[in-house]
Amino acid sequence: MLCELISKAQPSEGVFDYTIECHQMAIKAKPGQFLHILCGGDSYLRRPISICDVIDNRLIRFIFQVKGEGTKALSRAKVGERLDVLGPLGNGFDYQQKAEQEGDCVLIGGGIGIYPLLGLARRMKDKPVVMLGFRNTDSMLLTGEFSVVARSLYVSSDDGSVGVEGNVTDILKHSLSMGSKISKIYTCGPKPMMKAVAEIARENNIACEASLEERMGCGVGACVTCTCTMTDGSRKRVCKDGPVFNALEVDFDG
């Protein structure tokens, strides 16, 4: 589907914030799903980019980081240009089912994995606790928007320039050590971070969902390029079976 680029911003070096008009996709989109966008014409494969937010059931916002030639070509798009977009694709977060135990829902994000958690936070009936990890002050994005939709917002940075120095998982560990009750965790970010979150969730008997990122070809499960390994030894397609999985069933070392 051709979707008009309505707004474009560059909040930090190499990071672009786009909003496209696509009513038919917007009304179906769920937090955790993604778009498959053709970058720079026929010379590049489509790129999977997570949906950040849906606005007025008419607009879809997505944020991406330039990592290669495809996303570099996408970053050159101009407002008013039409982008070739497939979506929404994949399975999103299961945020409507009541958790088995009482406590807060906690959203934990790092790097580009922070962006899709914003739309999830907006959709939740009860405001979640949000924990975000950044490299430094320059990479800190969306904290103002998260502060509006979160019951509590905690931030960490690798260099200590903002929030707590260290990993965002340190905030989760500290929260649990202080007696916080958590009903479910939703996480998206670097694989080592999600692995650590899943291990903490398992140790504390907390339900946990993780949104995975893998290189994709077709985006609809046909090419089997984007498989991940599960703890039972089976392999799942991130684009079709995910990208959101029960984190306790994912073999992050597979």
Within 13 Å and on the Cβ side, how many CA atoms surround 148? 7
- Domain chopping of the chain, boundaries: 2-89, 104-249
CATH of 2-89, picked from 2.40.30.10, 3.30.499.10, 2.30.42.10, 3.40.50.300, is: 2.40.30.10
Q: Is 218 annotated as a binding residue?
A: yes
225 is in an annotated binding site: no
For residue 121, give every residue at least 6 positions away whose Cβ sits within 8 Å of its Cβ, in sequence order, or none: 107, 127, 128, 130, 146, 149, 150
70 is in an annotated binding site: yes
If one compares 47 and 43, the residue with the highest pLDDT of the two is: 47
Q: Is 223 labelled as part of a ligand binding site? A: yes
- In this prediction the pTM is 0.94
pLDDT tens-digit map of 184-232: 999 999 999 999 999 999 999 999 999 998 766 666 666 667 889 999 9
Q: Is 55 a known ligand-binding residue?
A: no
Q: Write out pLDDT tens, residues 131-167.
A: 999 999 888 999 999 999 999 999 999 998 989 999 9
CATH of domain 104-249: 3.40.50.80
User: Is 3 marked within a binding site?
Assistant: no
Judge whether 2-89 and 104-249 match in fold: no
